[in-house]
Amino acid sequence: MFHALAAAVLVSSTPLAPQRLYYQVNGPMPLSVEAGEGRELVLLAPDNREVARAAVPDGVGEVDAASLIPNLYSFTTVHYLQLVDNSAPVGAAIVLQPLVRVRNPVLRYTERGPFVETWIEQSEQEKNMAGFRVYVERDAVLHTTHGDIRLVMRPEHAPNTVWNFLHLVEGGFYTRIPFHRVVGTSSGGPGFVIQAGDPTGNGSGGPGYRIDLEASTLPHDLGVISMAREGNDIHTAGSQFFLCLSREATARLDVQYTTFGQTIEGVGVVKKIGGLRVGNQDRPIEMPYIETAELVASEPRTPGQAPKWIAPVPAAPAEKPAAPANPQR
């Protein structure tokens, strides 16, 4: 299913790249590295906190990350490997996504459907670490009729949703796709969401498969991207997504929908689309489109320096979601 993206990951011009997509637990992790002197491999947490560091032998074109960082397979949450050249980060980092069992939600059933109360915690043994999915970190750029929107992915919150979205972008799925639903600011409110991802434009189309809800703790907020779904079935995401227009209107969606990235360039474009006039069923009178979408290399990660993304906000207390405005197909 993800062959196109896998090929793009393996055939990479970045200074540091995996030689394959999957690495089995406790095995070697050969990485292609641009030869140089005074280089190091730095293991980073998602906030760029340094976890480990190892010298890269001078002049080599391949290293085994598992040998350089012996306890690498003990990490069961998403981490990053960044190549550093004489203390300066070089090229995009690579993502280490652990292959662990997915967590299950605890549901409360209401008249409006299931409501996620919390997620079942797992011990390290229950996670059953099997290895890593390893790929070069990429941002997604949506080229819309109103300008470009650049999105940074947050796999530490929703790794499988991120991978699904990268696959769809890489495969050309988001070509001439409308923002078919805009619950925005034209009526004077704070703005809710702009929704896209359906090739048919009628709100019911998708990629032909479904993915599950993930236990993301990234709060919904202006510019945050989250997955839409079919009605009240929490495990029916696919290709449709929404971009949030405000924290005020979307806070109640926290935990109930999978957030997986955020806008780092083009927030003004998101707002502009959110301000369009709409007709019946929140359909824009003049339909905005994603003309094309592409993946671009992420900026290098600087060890010890937190990324300059949208400042996180506290998640709102869990409340029963109101039915009318839910981002559903």
136 forms beta bridges with 94
Asked if the domains 3-98 and 137-297 are classified in one and the same CATH topology, the answer is no
Among the listed residues 294, 223, 206, 284, the one whose alpha carbon sits nearest the alpha carbon of residue 259? 223
324 pLDDT higher than 60? no
Task: Give the CA distances from residue 180 to residues 29, 165, 168, 262, 279, in Å, rounded to whole numbers and listed in that order.
Answer: 43, 18, 18, 20, 11
Strands 138-144 and 147-153: antiparallel
CA dihedral 38, 44, 49, 54 (to 10 degrees): -30
What's the topology of domain 3-98? Immunoglobulin-like (2.60.40)
Domain range summary for the chain, segments of one domain joined by +: 3-98, 137-297
CA 44 to chain centre: 17
Strands 131-136 and 113-119: unpaired
Superfamily grouping for domain 137-297: Cyclophilin-like (2.40.100.10)
Q: What percent of the chain has pLDDT over 70?
A: 91
Tens of pLDDT, residue by residue over 230-251, are: 988 999 999 999 999 999 999 9
What is the token pair recorded at 252?
């109640």
Confidence label for 317 from pLDDT (cuts 50, 70 and 90): very low
What is the token pair recorded at 1?
């299913």
pTM of the model: 0.90
Q: How far apart are the first and last CA of the chain?
A: 23
Tens of pLDDT, residue by residue over 25-43, are: 999 999 999 988 999 999 9
What is the token pair recorded at 328?
């559903």
4 pLDDT higher than 90? no
d(CA 27, CA 19): 14
The angle at the Cα of 113, spanning 228 to 187, to the nearest 5 degrees, equals 50
Asked if residues 227 and 214 have their Cβ atoms less than 8 Å apart, the reply is: no
